[in-house]
């Protein structure tokens, strides 16, 4: 996984990330759910231009953008083209299950990383990871083990641009935060 992978539209990167394995300090699993955001998207933090908070989104591609949601949760994004990013919403845990269980205080692997906040907590993501390059430690990547079936739907939990079909998930996976886009 080199930086060039991310130097493309967020929606393209988001779709191709499905099935890839992401490890943070040896803990992680296969990505099963992502969302794309870019500069022209009213739901994106970058829509109103660069600010101190979203500075990472306008930095070099292939970096992490970490932000706080509702004052409680951390969300991990992967920066693509300037002003665009891919939000990791869920992954299927494969490495470091014990570590994730301990961090989440939860045994059910299906709920371990199903959702942006849960995923970040399970991987130990916090503000210290904001702006870190994704092509070196503590991040590690693996290619999909086989063919993946990617489904595109509308995004979740946002108030603007909610009809843009930029949520990508691994079809049939039991680890996504929501199998189908219902009202939320």
Torsion sign across C-alpha atoms 172, 138, 67, 58: negative
Among 4, 48, 60, 174, binds DNA (CB under 7 A): 48
**Cα–Cα dist 175/91, whole Å:** 6
Asked if 158 interacts with DNA (CB under 7 A), we say yes
Q: Token digits for 69?
A: 């949601």
Q: Compute the chain's Rg from CA coordinates.
A: 15
Among 71, 98, 128, 147, binds DNA (CB under 7 A): 71
CB of 152 vs DNA, minimal distance in Å:
17
Asked if 115 interacts with DNA (CB under 7 A), we say yes
Cβ within 8 Å of residue 124, ≥6 positions away: 24, 25, 27, 99, 103
Sole window of 48-56, 92-100, 133-141, 142-150 interacting with DNA (rule: CB under 7 A): 48-56
Pick the closest to residue 153 from 120, 182, 119, 113 (CA basis): 182
Nearer to DNA, 137 or 179 (CB): 179
Among 134, 156, 169, 170, binds DNA (CB under 7 A): 156
Restricted to residues 2-31, the positions that interact with DNA (CB under 7 A) are none
CB of 17 vs DNA, minimal distance in Å:
14
Among 1, 3, 97, 106, binds DNA (CB under 7 A): 106
Q: Token digits for 117?
A: 């906040």
């Amino acid at each position: 996984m080199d930086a060039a992978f991310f130097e493309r539209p967020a929606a393209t990167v988001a779709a191709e990330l499905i099935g890839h394995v992401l490890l943070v300090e040896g803990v992680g699993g296969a990505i099963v759910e992502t969302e794309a955001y870019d500069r022209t998207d009213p739901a994106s933090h970058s829509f109103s231009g660069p600010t101190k908070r979203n500075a990472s989104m306008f930095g070099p591609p292939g970096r992490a953008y970490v932000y706080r949601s509702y004052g409680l949760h951390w969300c991990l994004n992967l920066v693509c083209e300037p002003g665009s990013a891919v939000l990791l919403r869920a992954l299927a845990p494969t490495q470091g299950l014990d570590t994730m269980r301990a961090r989440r205080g939860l045994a059910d692997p299906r709920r371990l990383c199903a959702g942006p906040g849960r995923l970040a907590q399970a991987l130990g993501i916090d503000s210290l990871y904001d702006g870190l390059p994704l092509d070196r430690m503590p991040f590690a990547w693996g290619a999909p083990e086989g063919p993946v079936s990617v489904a595109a739907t509308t995004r979740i939990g946002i108030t603007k641009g909610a009809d843009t079909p930029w949520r990508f998930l691994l079809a049939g996976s039991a680890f996504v935060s929501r199998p189908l886009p219902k009202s939320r």
